[in-house]
Structure 1
Amino acid sequence: MLPDGAVGAEYDHLPVGGGSDNFSGWMATNLPPGLSIDPDTGLISGIPAPSTSNQEYGDITVSIFDERLAQSVEFDCGPLLINERINANAVRNEPLHCIPHTASKAEMIAILEGGDGTEITCSAFNESTLPCPLGDGNGRLPPGISLDEGSCTHTGSVTGDVRGTWVWMVGIEQSGFKTRVPFCASNQTDSFHEITVIANGKEVSDLLPVSFDFDPNMGLLFGDGAYEWQIDDPACSNDPSLCSSYGFSFNVTCSPFDQPFVLNGMSTTTGMAHGMTLAGPAPSAGFATRPFVHSLESLYCTSNNGASCDVDGPNFEQNAQTQYHFSVVGYPLL
């Protein structure tokens, strides 16, 4: 069995009448795409072409030249099984569309699809220093949580006053094949504002990341009127004049979503509201088979004093009453 990663296979049998020192000129026909045979040693190696299901190749023929007999000999090789690559596509079905940071390594493996059953190793990603939109879609590890690469498990819990759910990628490797798995953690700390999220006309939890399915061959588009965030100031329910002004700012983690990044804010009688539109060209080939994360972190301010919520003012960050973190997890349609 060959995993969808770096592989190698040697023959443990040879045609009758020969010896291993007498053979040369190894050749093979109908090898799976991505594999080749060494003409001197007969070693079959390479990285099989990506596969979304187990594929069996049974018509492979190997030929060698037997120098002692001065003739070529052919024999069948196979069947040869190429396992489905290990991937995180099934994670989209988890309650938060990501693996909880409290999961054990065994629990993570049970959620993943594909693979060959061999050892899996994990690695953390540092926050990208590339400018948008050239980031790698790895999201952002929240404050207070760290990854133990040796055990593939996380320790700690989210610290700080930012409400929301963080999603970040963990690199995994099996038999030379590398991919990425989204993990997540929530901070349920109370916020000054009441945050209500309306998704496609229905209210959903403000702690729920969005699962976004994309066609790797098409341009990207998310939101565009389908999502709305209502940011209500509790002091304004009885006196709307207390919310005569608002302000908000945000920063994002880079991903295949291109700029511009659009949040169309508007004033309401109880605070403010905004939508969100994310767009971009068809992602690069590296995103065709694995998920990515796009995270948004916002500061919200409502007041009856326009100067205090002026995003260009020197004290906006101190005056903003709510910090909020939101993530979109993109999954390729395979």
Structure 2
Amino acid sequence: MPAHISLRVRALAVTVPAIALLITGCSRDELAPDCFEIDPNTGVCLVPDPGGTEAGINCETFPTGAVGATYEFQVEIGGGSGSYSMWEAENLPAGLSIDNNGLISGVPEEAGTFADVNISVFDVGRGSSSSTSCGPLIVNDALSANPVSLETLGCIPYQTSKADMVALLEGGDESEITCRAFTDSGSDTCPLGDGNGRPAPGIGFDEDSCQHSGTINSDYHGTWVWMIEVEQSDYTIAVPYCVTNELDTYHEIALSVDGDSADEAAPAIFAYDGVNSLAFGNGSHVWDIIDPNCPGTDCNSFGFKYDVTCSPFDAIDGWEISLSPSSGTDTGLTHQMIATGPAVSEKFTRRPFVASFEMAYCTSSDNETCAVENSTFDQNAQTKYHFDVVGFPTL
């Protein structure tokens, strides 16, 4: 029988020199194509590439901001490892900053076009930083109702749509606007409110649509002006609306302003700087109240009284009001108006106010009928008149 032969096989280790890699056209990168860091000696991948590309910052289009309005913008980033820190932003408008999540926020303090905003971020996974020049970031002036002062009556007709109202404003960040009715804050000492006026009787307001409706119902002749609170990005202003109640009054009310005939039913427009004390009238406005039966015995006696808002002050430091000088005339009576007060509070330095005056006029042939201290004066007064002064800050 043939002898059994036992074979023992030895595994041989073959060492390929590094130069062989070059001969075959291979590289260490090709051995680990998704590798972020390779050991230069062994070719072993030490840190896998987490994203394959560098982080890219997208900040070409900033939303528009406005002075005084809350601002927020989340900077977008793509690629990289997905883990970022140390966000930084250079040349942001005063009042804005960037947090560690890439959120730019704050309240802009100055208007302008900021074209050289530079944003950088550190990619933790890749161990590298990326930066991008962004912009422009546009900050508009603060939202303002001052252009309304140029309207015919210095106020917005109460049936105006929300879109048409917004078109009359200036500044702002172009975002959605909401509306609210001011709560009447009249009191025993300030029966007509504190600077916001009051809607004419019979006029209602819907906050959702930002529109008024209704029909005025009053025996006072004149124009009512009242404020609606408008808010955009947490910044609020007051917008004056109005409605005129044209009535045939017993007395003719003849108003002259600086010597020229004026519409007695129109409100007065008053500009103030927000720093100095206020003064309105002082000879500029003169009312002649003409009785149709004068000259005659009806002109022997007259009386008038008025209510006035404390706006834009509180009951402690209110207007000092006088309808002096006043006197009887051959045709009835005449009076002027002087209204003075301290400088407005801070909120009125950037929003308008309304001061409302309501007068009741009486002329008669005897002293008793038109005596203002009598409880019957209101029913004896033949003419009731509503006159508003709308103050606009000179921003």
Give TM-score scaled by structure 1 length.
0.90
The offset of 1:285, in angstroms, is: 2.0
* Structure with larger RCO (C-alpha < 8 A, sep 6+): 1
Match of 2:357 among 281, 296, 314: 296
Name the counterpart of 1:84: 141
Q: 1:163-210 CA deviation, whole Å, 9 max, x = no partner?
A: 000001111122332211111101101111110101000111111111
Q: Report which stretch shifted further, 74-83 or 162-171.
A: 74-83
Larger Rg: 2
Residues in 2 aligned to 1:94 and 1:134: alpha-carbon distance in whole angstroms: 24
Q: Report which stretch shifted further, 320-329 or 84-93.
A: 84-93
Match of 1:123 among 172, 175, 180: 180
Match of 1:10 among 74, 77, 80: 74
Segments of structure 1 that go 5 or more residues without pairing to the other structure are none
Give TM-score scaled by structure 2 length.
0.77
Match of 2:319 among 243, 256, 259: 259
Q: 1:294-322 CA deviation, whole Å, 9 max, x = no partner?
A: 11111111112112211111211111111
Residues in 1 aligned to 2:220 and 2:285: alpha-carbon distance in whole angstroms: 21
Name the counterpart of 2:81: 19
The answer as to 2:208 corresponding to 1:150 is yes
Residues in 1 aligned to 2:110 and 2:197: alpha-carbon distance in whole angstroms: 25
Segments of structure 2 that go 5 or more residues without pairing to the other structure are 1-62
The 1:133–1:59 alpha-carbon spacing in structure 2 relative to 1, beyond 3 Å, is farther
- Count residues in correspondence: 325
Name the counterpart of 2:44: none
Given that 1:244 and 1:305 are in contact with CA atoms closer than 8 Å, whether structure 2 keeps it comes out as yes
Name the counterpart of 2:197: 139
- How do residues 300-315 of structure 1 correspond to structure 2 at under 5 angstroms? 300-315=361-376
Given that 1:3 and 1:85 are in contact with CA atoms closer than 8 Å, whether structure 2 keeps it comes out as no
Aligned to 1:234, what secondary structure does the other structure show? coil
Match of 2:108 among 43, 48, 73: 48
Name the counterpart of 2:245: 187
Alpha-carbon RMSD: 2.2
Q: Report which stretch shifted further, 72-81 or 274-283.
A: 72-81
Residues in 2 aligned to 1:220 and 1:253: alpha-carbon distance in whole angstroms: 14
Kindly report structure 1 stretches of 4+ aligned residues shifted beyond 6 Å. Answer: none
Q: 1:241-282 CA deviation, whole Å, 9 max, x = no partner?
A: 322221111112231263211111221121111111122222
Given that 1:133 and 1:259 are in contact with CA atoms closer than 8 Å, whether structure 2 keeps it comes out as no
- How do residues 55-134 of structure 1 correspond to structure 2 at under 5 angstroms? 55-70=112-127, 74-129=131-186
Given that 1:140 and 1:253 are in contact with CA atoms closer than 8 Å, whether structure 2 keeps it comes out as no
Residues in 2 aligned to 1:274 and 1:19: alpha-carbon distance in whole angstroms: 80
Letter in 1 for 2:71: V
The answer as to 2:91 corresponding to 1:30 is yes
Identity %: 46
- How do residues 202-213 of structure 1 correspond to structure 2 at under 5 angstroms? 202-213=260-271
